Amino acid sequence: MRGTIIYGPNDIRFEDRPDPVIAEPTDAIVRTVAACVCGSDLWRYRGIAEVTKPTPIGHEYVGIVEAVGSDVTTVKPGQFVVGGFLTSDNTCALCKVGAHANCLHGTGYDGCQAELIRVQNADGTLIATPELPDEAMIPNILALSDVMCTGWHAAVSAGVKPGSTVVVVGDGAVGLSGVLAAAELGAERIIAMSRHEDRQRLALEFGATEIVAERGDDGVERVKELTSGIGADSVLECVGTHDSVEQALRSARPGGMVGWVGVPHVADLPQRHMFWKNVGLRGGPAPVRAYLDHLLDRVWNGHIQPGKVFDLTLPLDQVAEAYAAMDERRSIKTMLIP
Amino acid sequence: MRGTIIYGPNDIRFEDRPDPVIAEPTDAIVRTVAACVCGSDLWRYRGIAEVTKPTPIGHEYVGIVEAVGSDVTTVKPGQFVVGGFLTSDNTCALCKVGAHANCLHGTGYDGCQAELIRVQNADGTLIATPELPDEAMIPNILALSDVMCTGWHAAVSAGVKPGSTVVVVGDGAVGLSGVLAAAELGAERIIAMSRHEDRQRLALEFGATEIVAERGDDGVERVKELTSGIGADSVLECVGTHDSVEQALRSARPGGMVGWVGVPHVADLPQRHMFWKNVGLRGGPAPVRAYLDHLLDRVWNGHIQPGKVFDLTLPLDQVAEAYAAMDERRSIKTMLIP
């Protein structure tokens, strides 16, 4: 088969690789129907995170089950499936309390921007759709593999509930998914911080009620103007930089909560924006499997269309161009079709 | 009247001061029936926090209303009252969402270790008891002024619920109150971290199911041994030092939550113990008024006895000895009677 390897900054190659095989009885092999590039993949592409050797890359996918190991009981060859960006057994002590991203037996993938994928912990990771989806449905399901569940995790971690006032920091695919999640959870007002017109438009379509283009002190000031001077009940931090974490903490009202899903590029968190203001912070990698059933239902019945974050589709063998398009912000998120 | 002034490290004096007066129509004057020394007062006593000039001190009290301003409607002279360590108007946008410690019009006190106290925002701060309490009840009500509500805030912030496994870091009056709060909120297991026999005993009396005397790496290891290797659902951080915050974060299971009420003597929080483990942190000064009605009911009907944290009672004019006793850990918490 062919799959994507990152060799270093700006060096993405689509190459022949050995077909993955069932190595454990709990494995499945999935033939990719669609995959995509994650904002977090760009950290390595941009040289911010190190690439020490050529590495298979990608962790978001949907596909058709090709084969399953002898212990797999919940999915079978021929089914259309989606799985999260980390595998989980869905049975360990941490999965039982909904912390699937920290599953005691969880694993990553040996590259999902590929024609075939080995999925470990298949029973605890994959969910099959009721039947084969039509083409228009595929991006919506693909979005559940990471960004929609990650946006949902931000909103849940930030305690969004009916009537909440919410700020979303970050207008990438995760931030936009966070807007959609906040709307689904009943937020009354959703302030999306965005400076890009195409992303602002999608934020509004997903349920944002206001757009704030300012950042830093001006952004905080503008949020306060919109929230009776006190800040938002819940803030979704969907970037991970020092500035965005500060932006998020400072946009929360006293007693408010920041849901934190931007992969952090900060070593420490500024206590001064937290304790005396009673502003909390909670989040991390999303426990996809904890949300997947529920969100797949909402997608399958047409209630939400998180796949709208995909504004460019390319053949999988043009994966290098997909990275370039996202890096240069020509695309919010790019879908890849083998 | 006479009141307590801190002049500097180890220098507490009980002196003549002007009687407080009704300065705003929303004020009340309270004649102190009991006051006490807070763990946070000791930061200045120990020279860790600076004292730039002689300063009236103390923020925990119960007493009899002596006089009220013309706008005060909910309490009247002769009633026995308790108020929180900060005043709150109970009507502003932040009080309305339960963030009373950050009330837009909140204030502190001009020293409560005194014979008379000016209470600003009297209607939003004070609650009167149904009738005058007997002597044995007084410490229980006094504990609501700070430590019991602060322990409750830690437990609520840490998301303690029926069936939770809880770790409490800190065996001072707040930590012990946190044990009691966790038990009231239905925790199934409560692991109290304590190295002092008298405090261990009270922790067990308040509902702790296990004691861990170890600290640091050994403490984390011991907590994990007691929690199927994963850590606690909820951790109450009731100290505020760098080491105790680390202890708390590292004692939480992935997906767990730290409730944080120890006045922080750290500038930054270690992200490495949080994001990838999905461990959240929430807390700050307790919104006393948000909890006071409910907790006063539990105290008044004899359901809880948080006043057991007071293991020494002294005349108010021996306040300097009260500080020394707490500083030297001869007393968990000292009550002062005028």
pLDDT at residue B78 in the model: 98
* pLDDT tens string B121-131: 999 999 999 99
Of A93, A157, A287, the CB nearest to B280: A157
Band of pLDDT at residue B296, cut at 50, 70 and 90: very high
**Do A269 and B272 count as a contact with CB atoms less than 8 A apart?**
no
Q: Which residue in A269, A276, A285 is closest to B284 by CB distance?
A: A276
Q: Do A269 and B268 touch (CB under 8 A)?
A: yes
- Count contacts between A and B (CB, < 8 Å): 120
Residue carrying the six token digits 């410690």: B101
In percent, how much of chain B has pLDDT > 70?
100
| Helices then strands, each counted (H, E), chain A | 11, 17
pLDDT category of residue B269 using cuts at 50, 70 and 90: confident
B52-70 mean pLDDT: 98
A266 band by pLDDT with thresholds 50, 70 and 90: confident
B267 pLDDT exceeds 80? no
Which tokens hold the place of B20? 């407080």
Confidence band for A263, pLDDT divided at 50, 70 and 90: confident
Furthest CA-CA distance within chain A: 60
**Average pLDDT of the residues in B206-230:** 97
A197 Cβ contact partners less than 8 Å away, ≥ 6 residues apart: none
- Picking from B93, B253, B285, the nearest residue to A228 by CB comes out as B93
Structural tokens at position A145: 């593999």
Cβ of A266 within 8 Å of Cβ of B271? The answer is yes
Instruction: Please provide residue B139's backbone torsions phi and psi, each rounded to the nearest 5 degrees.
Output: -60, -35
Q: Is A322 helix (H, G, I), strand (E, B) or coil?
A: helix
What is the pLDDT at residue A178? 98
CA gap B127, B141 in Å, rounded:
11
Least confident of A54-68, A252-266, B57-71: A252-266
Tokens at B39, concatenated: 């763990």
Compute how many other C-beta atoms are within 10 angstroms of the C-beta atom of residue A131. Answer: 9
The two structure tokens encoding residue A212: 């704030």
Spatial neighbors of B141 by CB under 8 A, at least 6 apart, are B62, B80, B82, B129, B133, B296, B299, B307
- Per DSSP, the residues of A89-139 read -S-SHHHHTT-GGG-TT-B--S-SSBSEEEESSHHHH-EE-SSPPPGGGHH
**pLDDT attached to residue B270:** 86
What residues of chain B lie within 8 A of the CB of A91, using their CB? none
Q: What is the mean pLDDT of residues B22-40?
A: 97
Q: Does domain A148-283 have CATH number 3.40.50.300?
A: no
B153, pLDDT greater than 90: yes
- Same topology, domains A2-146+287-337 and A148-283? Answer is no
> How far, in Å, CA of A175 to CA of A167, rounded?
10
* Spatial distance between the Cα atoms of A313 and A335, rounded to a whole number of angstroms: 5
For residue A227, pLDDT beyond 90: yes
- Strand pairing category for A252-260 and A333-337: unpaired
Q: What is the mean pLDDT of residues B174-186?
A: 98
Which residues touch A52 (CB under 8 Å, ≥6 apart)? none
Q: Give chain A positions within 8 Å (CB) of B99.
A: 253-255, 278
Query: Chain A residue with minimal CA distance to B266?
Result: A271
Mean residue pLDDT across chain B? 97
* ipTM for this prediction: 0.96
Asked if B271's CB is within 8 angstroms of A267's CB, the reply is: yes
Check residue B200 and give its pLDDT: 98
Does the structure show a pLDDT above 80 at A209? yes
Among the partner-chain residues B99, B228, B287, the one whose CB lies closest to the CB of A93 is B228
Task: Kindly list the residues of chain A whose beta carbon comes within 8 Å of any beta carbon in chain B.
Answer: 93-94, 97-99, 101-102, 104, 157, 228-230, 233, 253-255, 257, 260, 263-264, 266-272, 274-285, 287
Would you say residue A267 has pLDDT above 80? no
Condensed to tens digits (0 to 9), the pLDDT of residues A150-199 reads 999 999 999 999 999 999 999 999 999 999 999 999 999 999 999 999 99
- Read off the pLDDT of each residue in A60-65 and give the average, rounded to a whole number: 98
Q: Is the pLDDT of residue B266 over 90?
A: no
A278 contacts in chain B (CB < 8 Å)? 99, 101-102, 282-285, 287
Q: How many CA atoms lie within 13 A of B13 on its CB side?
A: 9
Instruction: Give A79→chain B minimum CA distance, Å.
Output: 31
Give me the residue spans of the domains in chain B.
2-146+287-337, 148-283
CB A253, CB A247: distance < 8 Å: no
- Domain A2-146+287-337 matching CATH 3.20.20.210: the answer reads no
Asked if the Cβ–Cβ distance from A254 to B285 is below 8 Å, we say: no
Tens-place pLDDT, residues A270-307: 889 999 999 999 999 999 999 999 999 999 999 999 99
Question: What are the chain B neighbours of A284 within 8 Å (beta carbons)?
Answer: 254, 274-279
